């Protein structure tokens, strides 16, 4: 097994850009090609999930630091038309809080070759917006939901809004977003008993559920490997209610390992970022709401694209900065490495 497969960081620091092959795409030193762009549209959120944000929120990015719609559209155009990005996912923070979201989506949908456009959201207000988002060009949605219990949802998110999430998911499905994916994080002593009910709910409603292992990206830096609910535990729990068989289709760059539920056609995914890292297949590049480029969720450095954008850099120059950033991508996220340091930015400010 190689270091890349193990998710080890191997070489950090600035690699020699002169060894990079002269190719337009976002290649790195380990043979990976990034084609999937995660764009955070805001670091703000209207939930306060205990593992993601403190009750009082965080120090939000000052508005002048956030990319304008025009700046964002320019970076998206560079990514798609020059750098080979084929998939764009909008996230945050909560992307539905971004004013003009539909305009950002339609500008993205107008690019050629037209990228696939998806969004990760908490689902609040999706019931009102699903039709206009689809009309703008949204292709797919992932809705985050960690519990089916109203009181528990209130406690976990510090908001009594479970009903809005249910309505949002149903509206997404009715608007033709298919499949509606549901993302769940199980936390020990909080909702670890809900693996089976969550999957039952997803199967009954035609949603596609994926469990995500909790990663060290909390603002409190309180993540603890020993209290994380692992993929193996999740699968053991699911086996008490369902028969799971590995899905025959190739996994490709997808983070989720997938299983057929009771013979199919329903499937369930488990994203085991910590215990079964999939860095070797990573095809992601990430842009924060304030225009910082990251080559990994866990990278310690960022490339500022906002300053050059605002000081007259050409599209060619920005594309070259993007290529150099991805060339420097480490082999793995390094979570399981003795010297691992959690990045300063929490998940909500990077874009989950």
Q: Is 297 near ligand SAM (CB under 6 A)?
A: no
Using CB under 6 A as the binding rule, whether residue 183 contacts ligand SAM is answered as yes
Using CB under 6 A as the binding rule, the residues of this chain from 42 to 61 that contact ligand SAM are: 45, 51-52
**Residue 122 is a binding residue for ligand SAM (CB under 6 A):** yes
Q: Determine if 218 is a binding residue for ligand SAM (CB under 6 A).
A: yes
Residue 200 C-beta: closest distance to ligand SAM, Å: 20
Cβ-based nearer residue to ligand SAM, 83 or 212: 212
Nearer to ligand SAM, 183 or 325 (CB): 183
Total of chain residues touching ligand SAM, rule CB under 6 A:
20
From 71-79, 162-170, 312-320, 344-352, give the range in contact with ligand SAM by CB under 6 A.
344-352
In the set 35, 42, 91, 285, which binds ligand SAM (CB under 6 A)?
Answer: 91
Q: Give 28 or 36: the residue with its C-beta nearer to ligand SAM.
A: 36
Query: Nearest approach, Cβ of 239 to ligand SAM (angstroms)?
Result: 23
28 binds ligand SAM (CB under 6 A): no
Query: 315: burial class by Cβ within 10 Å (0-12, 13-18, 19+)?
Result: middle
288 interacts with ligand SAM by CB under 6 A: no
Q: Which 241-280 residues touch ligand SAM, going by CB under 6 A?
A: none
Q: Is 215 in the site for ligand SAM (CB under 6 A)?
A: yes
Binding residue for ligand SAM, selected from 108, 157, 325, 348, defined by CB under 6 A: 348
- Tell me, letter by letter, the H, E, C secondary structure of the chain: CCHHHHCCCCCCCCCCHHHCCCCCCEECCCCCEECEEEEECCCCCCCCCCCCCCCCCCCCCCHHHCCCHHHHHHHHHHHHHHCCCCEEEEECCCHHHCCCHHHHHHHHHCCCCCCEEEEEECCCCHHHHHHHHHHHCCCEEEEECCCCCHHHHHHHHCCCCHHHHHHHHHHHHHCCCCCEEEEECCECCCCHHHHHHHHHHHHHHCCEEEEECCCCCCCCCCCCHHHECCHHHHHHHHHCCCCEEECCCCCCCCCCEEEEECCCCCEEEEECCCCCCCHHHCCEEEECCCCEEECCCCCCCCEECHHHHHCCCCHHHHHHHHHHHHHCCCCCCCCCCCCCCCCCCCHHHHCC
CB of 208 to ligand SAM, least distance (A): 14
Any contact of residue 214 with ligand SAM (CB under 6 A)?
yes
Strand ranges for 67-138 from DSSP E: 87-91, 116-121
Selected binder of ligand SAM within 78, 198, 212, 282 (CB under 6 A):
212
Does 105 engage in binding with ligand SAM (CB under 6 A)? no
Q: Which residues bind ligand SAM (CB under 6 A)?
A: 45, 51-52, 91-92, 94, 120-122, 144, 183, 185, 212, 214-215, 217-218, 347-348, 352
């Amino acid at each position: 097994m190689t270091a890349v497969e193990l998710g080890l960081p191997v070489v950090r620091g600035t690699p020699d850009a002169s060894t990079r092959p002269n190719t337009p795409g976002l290649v790195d030193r380990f043979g990976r090609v990034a084609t999937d762009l995660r764009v955070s549209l805001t670091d703000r959120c209207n939930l306060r999930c205990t593992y993601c944000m403190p009750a009082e929120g965080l120090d939000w990015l000052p508005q002048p630091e956030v990319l304008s719609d025009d700046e964002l559209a320019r970076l998206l155009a560079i990514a798609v038309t020059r750098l080979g990005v084929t998939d764009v996912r909008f996230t945050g923070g909560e992307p539905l809080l971004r004013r003009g979201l539909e305009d950002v989506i339609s500008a993205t949908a107008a690019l050629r070759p037209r990228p696939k456009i998806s969004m990760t959201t908490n689902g609040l207000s999706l019931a009102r917006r699903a039709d206009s988002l689809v009309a703008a060009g949204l292709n797919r949605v992932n809705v985050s939901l960690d519990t089916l219990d109203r009181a528990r949802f209130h406690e976990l998110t510090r908001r009594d809004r479970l009903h809005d999430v249910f309505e949002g998911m149903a509206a997404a499905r009715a608007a033709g977003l298919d499949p509606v994916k549901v993302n769940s994080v199980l936390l020990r002593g909080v909702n670890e008993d809900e693996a089976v009910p969550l999957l039952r709910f997803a199967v009954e409603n035609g949603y596609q559920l994926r469990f995500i292992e909790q990663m060290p990206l909390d603002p409190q830096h309180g993540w603890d490997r020993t209290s994380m609910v692992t993929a193996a535990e999740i699968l053991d729990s699911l086996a008490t209610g369902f028969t799971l068989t590995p899905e025959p289709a190739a996994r490709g760059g997808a983070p989720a390992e997938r299983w057929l539920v009771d013979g199919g056609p329903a499937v369930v995914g488990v994203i085991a970022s910590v215990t079964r890292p999939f860095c070797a297949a990573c095809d992601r590049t990430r842009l924060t709401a304030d225009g910082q480029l990251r080559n990994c969720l866990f990278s310690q450095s960022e490339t500022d694209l906002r300053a050059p954008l605002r000081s007259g850099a050409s599209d060619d120059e920005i594309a070259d900065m993007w290529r150099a950033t991805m060339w420097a991508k480490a082999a793995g996220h390094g979570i399981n490495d003795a010297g691992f340091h959690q990045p300063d930015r929490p998940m909500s400010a990077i874009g989950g």
